[in-house]
Chains A and B, each alone.
Chain A
């Protein structure tokens, strides 16, 4: 490649506000692999929570903002399977429903160039060894939207297997939802927590120190449960593991 790939980072509103380390780690990994990372400051939120809760009219402005912010870039990368899922599968629908076919067309075009982090690293950059080191026992929860909506398959696992010092242990029942589900976690808190209990059981059964995933929202839910139980297992985003190096570990 004669030119550095130029990547627009869509950091997501959740990471921006509550988990900035995940955003910083995403920048670190992309830059380590030779990308020029741009952070368009006009970005806010993809509107997923609005769309999935039924507030489709309210989401139109967010879709418009997202499309206007990112349509000038060749590649958009986000450290979130569910936000990319919403961008790919819902933005055009929201625009069409609002009677704006031109916006729907533009949304489709941007969505075609928007990637979840592991997709971008493995498919677009062809990298599975990103030069990371992380001397911990890790289990990986694939998260539903990465697994089913995006079909990222074992790309995150391929990345983790190349991390030095990392011991990967398989999570039982990994394709089962953790129970987050956006506003489901609050609207149906009892069911959400029942699902979380089983997910935590599975995580604890692995003996891992760290439960990793590619969605900060699911991690906030699983991590919030583990923390409440003082279970002694941390939740860490895939990007943070891939950003870690031997230098940092010392």
Chain B
């Protein structure tokens, strides 16, 4: 008997053939009761509590804001995914080198980049979470991992209130990364400090349509 057959046989013997399967009560909150504006505010507040920097802008101020963030951080090299909407980089100074990841960048290439700019698939207000699903405006997982600074653009219409609402919008078969604030650890005396292996700085831009 293979280990597979043996394990399955042991499970069946342990559980018995007529094991009742209990019903799962789902009386927890699935939908949030916040309107869009309030959800966006809650999202911004919760992200900020985890030491991310939150910015609010609309289409008009957007490009300039990205330019300002990069300039303020002294950024010289930026990586972006192939599907980043045209115009997002319009405000970036000419002195900043922008690399587009077509899948060919090596880890060494990415290690030398200061900042990555992406969109996001979904954002969850109650937990201050952004979710990346490797869509063209977000790119491969590695590009948001090696640069020490992540600028994540969150269109306000992608913000939901609860975790169940957020997961319901995602396709589990895509590579997913849920991000709640910058990299952190509580491993020393259970004292939380930000900044270990993932990006140590996270700028979140909440982008409203108006």
A and B touching (Cβ–Cβ under 8 A): no
Using CB atoms and an 8 Å cutoff, list the residues of chain A in contact with chain B: none
